[in-house]
Amino acid sequence: MVDKEHLPQHVGIIMDGNGRWAKKRGLPRTEGHRRGAEVFRTISTYASDIGVPYLTFYAFSTENWKRPQQEIDVIMDLFRDFLHEAEQRQAENETRRFCFRFIGDLSVLPEDIRALADWMEKHNPENGRTTVNVAVNYGGRSELTHAFRTLLSRVQSGELTEPDVTEDAIAQALYTAGQPDPDLIIRPSGEYRLSNFLTWQSAYSEFWFSDILWPDFTTADFDRALEDFARRSRRFGGI
């Protein structure tokens, strides 16, 4: 049973292992991404149902452009499918009070994807219960660079002074402005690193790692991560 009194307010998930999952089965890497997209839908819905208010899924990093073009094209098509499906299920999303946010530099994405993402954000319910951040063309260092440039521009224009550039000001210049930092970050697939994910926001995050490849990740695995989180003592530098 999940300890709902100690649920994290914000869970970050690095969806890793799609390619290896496919390779183990003699399938193209693209099939791993298709299966991974299904797991994304399952976990986001389940997390909302049990009361997690914020989720951030690492879908496509700034480094992922180095992959083969065919694989990139399939990932973009899956993103399109997700956006079209969400558009068609708008009434259901409103009933569930899902809010979708897309974080990262979307300016380099295909125009139709940008338009769909913009439409979805504009049609989010006013009183959302669960915010789902989808990180696309996202990198933690890129996000910080963007935030610093934004603040520098505001200082140069006279809107801010140098003492105004505080930790809170930086946090408000990030893509996740107005949201709590992630309490828990989950990374399946046997890797033990952040990979440029939520670099600023993860300063006091708890981490949960497993050898499970993302396409095999289940709601039971998510429960185990939450149970482990509930047992931890978070002191934030105190005693």
Q: How far is residue 133's CA from residue 22's CA, in Å, rounded to a whole number?
A: 26
22 three-state secondary structure? helix
Nearest Cα to 176, choosing from 210, 206, 203? 203
Count structural domains, the chain: 1
Catalytic residues: 16, 64
Examine residue 165 and state whether it is found in any structural domain, yes or no: no
Range list of β-strands (E), the chain: 10-14, 54-61, 98-103, 130-138, 184-187, 206-209
User: Does the residue 164 lie in any domain?
Assistant: no
Say if strands 206-209 and 184-187 run parallel, antiparallel, or are unpaired. Answer: parallel
User: What is the predicted pLDDT for the residue at 188?
Assistant: 96
With CA atoms as reference, report the closest residue to 150 among 132, 177, 131, 127: 177
Do 31 and 70 contact (CB within 8 A), yes or no? no
Q: How far apart are the first and last CA of the chain?
A: 29
In a domain, 150, yes or no: no
Position 188 in a domain: yes
Backbone angles phi, psi at 215, to 5 degrees: -65, -20
Instruction: Write the CATH number for 109.
Output: 3.40.1180.10
Instruction: Provide Rg for the chain, Cα atoms.
Output: 18
- Range of 68's domain? 4-138+180-230
d(CA 196, CA 238): 27
Is the residue at 78 inside a domain? yes
The reported pLDDT for the residue numbered 86 is 87
Q: Quick check: 13 and 56 in contact, CB under 8 A?
A: yes
pLDDT at 179: 97
Question: Residue 143 domain-assigned?
Answer: no
Judge whether 175 lies within some domain: no
State the sign of the Cα–Cα–Cα–Cα dihedral 82, 83, 89, 93: positive
Rounded Cα–Cα distance for residues 73 and 65 (Å): 10
Block mean pLDDT (10 aa), the chain, length 239: 87 97 96 96 95 97 96 95 89 85 96 95 88 97 98 97 97 98 97 97 97 98 96 76
Any domain includes 37? yes
Task: Supply 7's token pair.
Answer: 């649920």
